[in-house]
Each structure stands twice: as C-alpha cells, then as structure tokens.
C-alpha cells in the first residue's frame, strides 16, 4: 500500500467526470487499499478516486470513531433522496483547512458495488448521507466549494493558491540549501 497524492482545489483535474469501473481486478483492490491508507493518513472520513487523479467511480468512507469500518462504494448511484434537507459544516481533503455549511438531502438510498463487484444498497442519514453525497460530487467533477457563493469560492481559491505558492517557494529554498 502507498499514500497517494491528493489534488488540491482549484486543480482542474478535480473537475473531470469519473468513468464507471468495469473490471474488478487486483488493480482496483490495490487502488481501494491505497485510497483507504491515504484517507486515514490525511486524516479524513471519505475520499473519491478523482481526488487522487484516478477518474473512476471509486469512493472509500469511514465515519467511525475507531477508523475500522471502511466502506467501499464503486459505481455508486443515489436511488432515492429525501425532500427533507440538512445543513452540515463540510470540509474536504482537496480543500484543506476550509469548512463551510452545505445543504443536502437529509437521507439517501444508495446502490453500489464493493471491491469484488458485488452489489449492495445502503440507507444513509446524518454524517454518512452527507459524506456519500460529498464524495459522489467528486466523481461528477464537483467540489463542495461550488455550493458556496462566488465571493466565498474566489476567496478560498485565492487563499489556497497563495498557500501553494508559499509551499513551492519553501521547497525551492530547501533545495537550494542542500546544494
């Protein structure tokens, strides 16, 4: 297993739409294992393959306190979403340090496949419902900040770009000091 690089907003690759998984083989099993390790290391509660620049419909989620209840959703589809809405303070591994309220359906019924290709269904509410919808947005090429006002979105984009430039400059300085 290995830790994968998580794309940071506003990287344009985060807007690519993921394709369905058709073959459930060792490559998918390895991707799922690497994604889980990456998510736990970050630390996070969900990760979509799109966030690690693999544009296939693969999601890993673990909302447990003990971090031992990994659920894999491959080719997930929302079969039903409640009319009732809920607002959650969401964050994202691709948008580090940023949290904001997003309104989503309070309950969803999802059909997906596991890492072996077996179909299953889940009725989700609360944090699990939010997490599933958030990660499925990534598969559709959407990042949670797109639910925010254009003003907030631009401020976040500017802040993260400045941080990225600062990290790049720090790397350059460290490299120059090693010569």
Q: What is the pLDDT along the chain (179 residues), one digit of tens a residue?
A: 799 999 999 999 999 999 999 999 999 999 999 999 999 999 999 999 999 999 999 999 999 999 999 999 999 999 999 999 999 999 999 999 999 999 999 999 999 999 999 999 999 999 999 999 999 999 999 999 999 999 999 999 999 988 888 876 666 667 677 54
How confident is the model at residue 178, as a pLDDT? Answer: 58
Cα gap 6→28, rounded to integer Å: 18
Q: Give the pLDDT score at 38.
A: 98
Q: Give the integer Cα–Cα distance in Å for 149 and 10.
A: 15
| 131 annotated as belonging to a binding site for a ligand | no
Angle ∠(69,132,143) on CA atoms, nearest 5: 125
Q: Which one is catalytic: 22, 65, 90, 135?
A: 135
55 assigned binding-site residue: no
> How far, in Å, CA of 60 to CA of 132, rounded?
9
Neighbour tally for 172: CB within 10 Å: 10
Are 112 and 54 contacting, i.e. CB atoms less than 8 angstroms apart? no
For residue 174, what pLDDT is reported? Answer: 72
Which homologous superfamily is 12-148 in? Peptide deformylase (3.90.45.10)
pLDDT, position 167: 73
Active-site residue, 37 included: no
pLDDT of amino acid 177: 72
CA dihedral 148, 15, 138, 118 (to 10 degrees): 160
């Amino acid at each position: 297993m290995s830790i994968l690089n998580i794309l940071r907003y506003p990287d344009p690759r985060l807007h690519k739409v993921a394709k369905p998984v058709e073959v459930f083989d060792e490559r998918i099993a390895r991707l799922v294992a690497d994604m889980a390790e990456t998510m736990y290391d970050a630390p996070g509660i969900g990760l979509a393959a799109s966030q690690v620049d693999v544009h296939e419909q693969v999601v890993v989620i673990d909302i447990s306190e003990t971090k031992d209840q990994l659920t894999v959703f491959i080719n997930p589809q929302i079969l039903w979403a409640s009319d009732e809405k809920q607002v959650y303070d969401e964050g994202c591994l691709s948008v580090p340090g940023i949290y904001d309220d997003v309104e989503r359906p309070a309950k969803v019924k999802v059909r997906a496949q596991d890492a072996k290709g077996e179909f299953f269904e889940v009725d989700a509410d609360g944090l699990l419902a939010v997490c599933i919808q958030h990660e499925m947005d990534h598969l559709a090429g959407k990042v949670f900040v797109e639910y925010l006002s254009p003003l907030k979105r631009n401020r976040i984009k500017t802040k993260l770009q400045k941080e990225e430039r600062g990290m790049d400059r720090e790397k350059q300085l460290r490299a120059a000091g090693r010569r």
